[in-house]
């Protein structure tokens, strides 16, 4: 499957909106494009899907072994081409090697054989952008830079000067985007405001696509796509139970697509429900899974969702319930909002969390389960990550897991367990 990986020298250059515009423009050109996202990110894949109509999957070289990376990439299936989006800068990752790499977009490009389309923010420079592009082209001989898209171009003269420098360096330019192109999306504390919360998103994506058709040589972009032709078999993920009730709404949306799709492909029945709509989980579910998300923004609504909370408590009497990050917070006694108001939660764990005292917790994590989580046995080793601003005020139950960061240092957030109920701030990506 031929592909390209959209990356940049750093965060904040516009690669997400460029990716979305390309996905929409290529779809409008009657191409079936399979999107991917490099690294741990739950928000961008939903935008990818909105832009091109196909589910987007994460590819993570730190958390995923080679077989899983290849299997996830095989979800491209019958697409005409792949368009993957990197995270941070092309070569940015962690210091210690993980399952197959350091968590960089370059790791994925190298393994899959996808050339890189580099997005360059040239505000404040002109010909000098060629030195940046040339450095990226020469830094790793196993990573091919197909060319660049110039972003935030101030004027036709500015574009001519930048193109002249890049031509002298032998770097292909696929196009240039003006500085005031309205290529921005609203953000909040964990990244972009979710796709499902944005009114007028489809119209914005149409504008992005139109701009790409006008400013970018889409035929050249397609012709630049390449691949090593990796084939893969096996499963994406083994399900932790047969009938899984999964909370799904704007407060509970941080569940990696390859896990959910893997559970389905393995024969598990996924039974979605919405706590925000006060829906109870299915009575015949074997497991309730509460993903992460933004419960801190909806704590009052969740506290008042008595049908949901009653169903959750009834299930927990004799069957497993697990919460990740935001889902973990909802399983506790109380969630303190940013304004200091304490909201009563499910009370299934002796946990109190606060969003009023905000501190960033971020990074890759290795975890060893100290107790089972449904079909995941005690002793199971997992790879994942942590990303939240909430702090633990009280945690009175035994730890669920032993957790270390990417360098092997112990992490204090171990999760907790009580009876059939478990949870942690750890987001699972793969078995270690």
Please state the CATH superfamily assignment of the domain spanning residues 3-224 in this structure: P-loop containing nucleotide triphosphate hydrolases (3.40.50.300)
Q: String of b and e for 51-84 (b: at least 16 CB within 10 Å)? A: bbebbbbbbbbbbbbeebbbbbbbbbeebbbbbb
What is the spatial distance between Cα 169 and Cα 299, in angstroms, rounded to a whole number? 55
Per-residue pLDDT tens for 28-62? 999 999 999 999 998 899 999 999 999 999 999 99
What is the spatial distance between Cα 129 and Cα 72, in angstroms, rounded to a whole number? 34
Beta strands in 243-315 (DSSP E): 243-247, 269-273, 287-290
Q: What is the pLDDT of residue 186?
A: 65
Whether the per-residue pLDDT at 373 is higher than 80: the answer is: yes
Task: Look up tokens 């196009």; give the residue.
Answer: 175
Instruction: Please tell me the CATH code under which domain 243-431 is placed.
Output: 3.40.50.880
Coil, helix or strand for 409?
coil
Q: How many CB atoms lie within 10 A of CB 307?
A: 12
Query: Boundaries of CATH 3.40.50.880 in the chain?
Result: 243-431
Among 225-229, 233-237, 241-245, name the most confident range.
241-245
Task: Look up tokens 């997005």; give the residue.
Answer: 119
Tokens of 200: 């007028």
From the centroid of its chain, how far is CA 190?
11
Query: Boundaries of CATH 3.40.50.300 in the chain?
Result: 3-224
Catalytic one among 38, 52, 129, 325? 325
Q: Is 325 one of the annotated active-site residues of the chain?
A: yes
What are 216's strand-pairing partners? 175
- Banded pLDDT at 275 (limits 50, 70, 90): very high
Contact call for residues 150 and 173 (beta carbons, < 8 A):
yes
Q: String of b and e for 222-234 (b: at least 16 CB within 10 Å)? A: bebbbbeebeeee
Per-residue pLDDT tens for 350-369? 999 999 877 888 999 999 99
Per-residue pLDDT tens for 304-342? 999 999 999 999 999 999 999 999 999 999 999 999 999
Per-residue pLDDT tens for 384-410? 999 988 999 999 999 999 999 999 999
Across the chain, which distance is largest between two alpha carbons, in Å? 70
CA angle 377/379/383 to nearest 5° reads: 95
Q: How many CB atoms lie within 10 A of CB 128?
A: 12
Per-residue pLDDT tens for 117-158? 999 999 999 999 999 999 999 999 999 999 999 999 999 999
* Residue 178 backbone phi and psi in degrees, to 5: -70, 160
């Amino acid at each position: 499957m031929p592909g390209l990986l959209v990356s940049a020298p750093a965060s904040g250059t516009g690669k997400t909106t460029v990716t979305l515009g390309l996905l929409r423009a290529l779809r409008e050109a009657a191409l079936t494009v399979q999107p991917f996202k490099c690294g741990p990110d739950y928000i961008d894949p939903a935008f990818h899907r909105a832009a091109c109509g196909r589910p987007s999957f994460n590819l993570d070289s730190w958390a995923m072994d080679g077989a899983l990376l290849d299997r996830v990439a095989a979800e491209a299936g019958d697409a005409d081409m792949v368009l993957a989006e990197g995270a941070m800068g092309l070569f940015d990752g962690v210091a210690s090697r993980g399952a197959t790499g350091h968590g960089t977009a370059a790791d994925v490009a190298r393994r899959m054989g996808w050339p890189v389309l580099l997005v360059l923010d040239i505000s404040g420079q002109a010909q000098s952008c060629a030195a940046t592009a040339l450095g990226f082209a020469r830094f790793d001989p196993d990573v091919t830079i197909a060319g660049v898209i110039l972003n935030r171009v101030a004027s036709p003269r500015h574009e001519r000067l930048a193109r002249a420098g890049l031509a002298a360096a032998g770097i292909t330019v696929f196009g240039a985007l003006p500085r005031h192109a309205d290529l921005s999306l609203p953000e909040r504390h964990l990244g972009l405001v979710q796709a499902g919360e944005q009114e007028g998103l489809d119209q914005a994506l149409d504008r992005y696509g139109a701009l790409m058709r006008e400013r970018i040589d889409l035929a050249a972009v397609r012709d630049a796509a390449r691949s090593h032709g990796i084939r893969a078999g096996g499963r994406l993920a083994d399900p932790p139970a047969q009938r899984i009730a999964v909370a799904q709404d704007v407060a509970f949306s941080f569940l990696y697509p390859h896990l959910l799709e893997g559970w389905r492909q393995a024969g598990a029945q996924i039974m979605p429900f919405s706590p925000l709509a006060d829906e109870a989980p299915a009575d015949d579910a074997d497991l309730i899974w509460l993903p992460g998300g933004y419960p801190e923004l909806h704590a009052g609504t969740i506290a008042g969702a008595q049908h949901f909370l009653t169903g959750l408590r009834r299930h927990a009497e004799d069957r497993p319930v697990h919460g990740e990050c935001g889902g973990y917070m909802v399983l506790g006694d109380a969630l303190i909002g940013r304004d200091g108001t304490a909201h009563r939660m499910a009370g299934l764990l002796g946990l109190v969390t606060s969003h009023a005292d905000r501190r960033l917790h971020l990074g890759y994590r290795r975890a060893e389960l100290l107790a089972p989580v449904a079909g995941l046995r005690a002793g199971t080793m997992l790879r994942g990550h942590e990303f939240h601003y909430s702090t633990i005020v009280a945690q009175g139950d035994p730890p669920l897991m032993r957790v270390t960061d990417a360098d092997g240092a112990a992490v204090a957030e171990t999760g907790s367990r009580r009876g059939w109920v478990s949870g942690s701030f750890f987001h699972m990506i793969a078995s270690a």
